[in-house]
Amino acid sequence: MAWLPAASDVTVEAVLARSVVDRTPQDTGTAFPDSVGTIVLWMRATGASGQTLHHVWYFGDTQVGDVPLTIGGSPWRTWSRKTVPVEAKGAWHVEIRDDAGTVLKRVDFTVGQ
């Protein structure tokens, strides 16, 4: 079995955006109008090569998505998208977790407020 770094060795940077162009987040922020349609969580992971990290999306306290992302190198840029219904106004957040479920980072945002 190949050695994988411990979660404590993994660092992640993350931003929310409306889109990604040439692997770069565009129109970043933490507050979006209810008409946003789709929000992207862009991430740069260091020290996680060979691991799977998860973007776990929440609307309020309800989990509404879990996107597994395989990390192919270090550093590694990747992202996930979430469709946001117009009626889903309020507090949202995304947790970046390792396969053990450890939260490496949390990003909070609001929609329509």
Alpha-carbon distance of 37 to 16, in angstroms, equals 13
- Domains in the chain: ranges and CATH: 7-111 (2.60.40.1930)
The full 3-state SS of 34-87, as one line of letters, equals CCCCEEEEEEEEECCCCCEEEEEEEECCEEEEEEEEECCCCCEEEEEEEECCCC
The pLDDT tens digits for 61-79 are 999 999 999 999 999 999 9
Alpha-carbon distance of 65 to 94, in angstroms, equals 9
The pLDDT tens digits for 12-65 are 999 999 999 999 999 999 999 999 999 999 999 999 999 999 999 999 999 999
Alpha-carbon distance of 97 to 12, in angstroms, equals 10
Asked whether the whole model's pTM tops 0.85, one would answer yes
Overall residue count recorded for the chain in this entry: 113
Q: Which residues are bridge partners to 11 per DSSP?
A: 46
Half-sphere exposure of 8 (CA within 13 A, CB side): 0
